Structure 1
Amino acid sequence: MSEAIALEIATDLPRSKRLKAVTTGTHDTLDKSIMAGEPFKDRERYSLFLKVQHLFHRDINSLYDNAQLDALLPDLKGRRRFSLIGDDLSDLEVTAPEAVDLPAFANSEAVDLPTALGWLYVAEGSNMGAAFLLKAAQKIGLSEEFGARHLAGAPEGRGLHWRTFTQALDDIDLSEDEEGKVVAGAEAAFKRVHALVKQMFG
């Protein structure tokens, strides 16, 4: 399905569901790429996955301190996982990778709000799918307390945590042009992770 057709089909959907419809192809490609790398085969492979996570969350880390975003999205700072990934790397005695090719907003207070929303949508959505990943990590001796801290669910449950985010996302008033930037931001985030997966797993 082309992006144009998906956008037309998704016109009447809430923003979060529209994003899911439009980015399904990119998301599926990423999922297949990750699993092809066998990230849960052993701890060595998992360490590569952790490095991907570290670099992506380094990309977006500054967004969690943005006052404008914080006013729009519930418990934004509490959703940050960058430090947890750092703890996971330390648990496994793996050196954090050096960040390169950071997005423009990574080290700047000037954030294009719609674009940032697209990136955060991808980050929050990945936490929903982390329940499956956590079970896979447990098979190689990792847990929410060791090595897989960043895959843990929120205290209130993954479903409610996701729904409070998407409800807030859906309620933000944006222009048609800004809607396009949200989609572009989400697509860019998925493609960024895909590039990192290729970099780490070859």
Structure 2
Amino acid sequence: MDASTRLADLRQATRSDHQSVDDMVMEMAPFDSRENYGRFLRLQYIFHKAMLPLYRAEDLNQLMPELAARSRYDAVSMDLADLGCDAPDHRSRDEIPQTGMARIGWLYVCEGSSLGAAFLFKAAAGIGLGADFGARHLAAHTDGRGRHWREFVDQVNGLALGSNDDEMLRDGACAAFAFFRNLLMAEASGVTNRDSQG
């Protein structure tokens, strides 16, 4: 694979997975009320908490300098506190790869969600939320969404990977979308906070 097109190919390969998650999020109507937003926020917390070990992984930070600083876990935790929401108890470590290149596929999904959050952040203002209260994790990075994303793209495209590694990236991205889709399905059925999930 031409490394310069790695993430473009990954985006194309996961287009339907991405769309299905977007559709399910919108079905939640998260910005119709703060109650609905709180449900969405708890899912975001579960996802970003699950992703935290990947952002802190020493080997990935060597490959992608300052990766740890990209995590939005602290921001989403503060958002939960702003709204008086309890942090959900969801044990998900076994579902997230702790080694291998599939982790970069998971990071692609997480970083991509930050790029795509501009619409969500604007919608959050309609229920009185913003970068200083309740919607910190949806706010743009101080460098700007586009620049922050391009830096990530350049890092990933710059990695010297083999064909098997690229396949693992795709598998990881698909698994990350499936993980969040399962969270949405569980929330819809009212079982997101059950310990039996993890």
Query: TM-score, normalization: structure 2?
Result: 0.91
Q: Is the 8 A contact 1:74 1:165 kept in 2?
A: no
Q: Quote how far apart the aligned CAs of 1:105 are.
A: 4.6
Partner of residue 110 from structure 2, selected from 98, 105, 123: 123
Partner of 2:121: 134
Partner of residue 99 from structure 1, selected from 55, 73, 90: 90
Partner of 1:191: 178
Q: Output the CA distance in 2 between the equivalents of 1:66 and 1:173.
A: 18
Instruction: Name whichever of 88-97 and 172-181 sits farther off.
Output: 172-181
- In the alignment, structure 2 segments of 5+ residues that lack a partner are 190-198
Q: Output the CA distance in 1 between the equivalents of 2:78 and 2:148.
A: 22
Give the partner amino acid of 1:26.
D
Query: SS where residue 103 of structure 1 aligns?
Result: helix
Partner of 1:25: 16
Superposed counterparts of 1:82-97, under 5 Å: 82-97=73-88
Q: Output the CA distance in 1 between the equivalents of 2:172 and 2:96.
A: 12
Aligned residues: 188
Q: Output the CA distance in 2 between the equivalents of 1:64 and 1:33.
A: 26
Cα deviation 1:96-144 (Å, max 9, x = unaligned)? 10013433557xxx512x1110000000000001111001100000010
Q: Is the 8 A contact 1:105 1:111 kept in 2?
A: no
Percent of aligned positions that are identical: 38
Partner of residue 68 from structure 2, selected from 74, 77, 81: 77
Question: Are residue 170 (structure 1) and residue 157 (structure 2) matched?
Answer: yes
Q: Which runs of 4+ in 1 moved over 6 A?
A: none
Superposed counterparts of 1:30-49, under 5 Å: 30-49=21-40
Q: Is the 8 A contact 1:55 1:97 kept in 2?
A: yes
Q: Is the 8 A contact 1:74 1:164 kept in 2?
A: no
Instruction: Name whichever of 136-145 and 75-84 sits farther off.
Output: 75-84
Partner of 2:56: 65
Partner of 1:160: 147
Query: TM-score, normalization: structure 1?
Result: 0.89
Alignment RMSD:
1.4
Query: SS where residue 100 of structure 1 aligns?
Result: coil
Q: Output the CA distance in 1 between the equivalents of 2:94 and 2:37.
A: 25
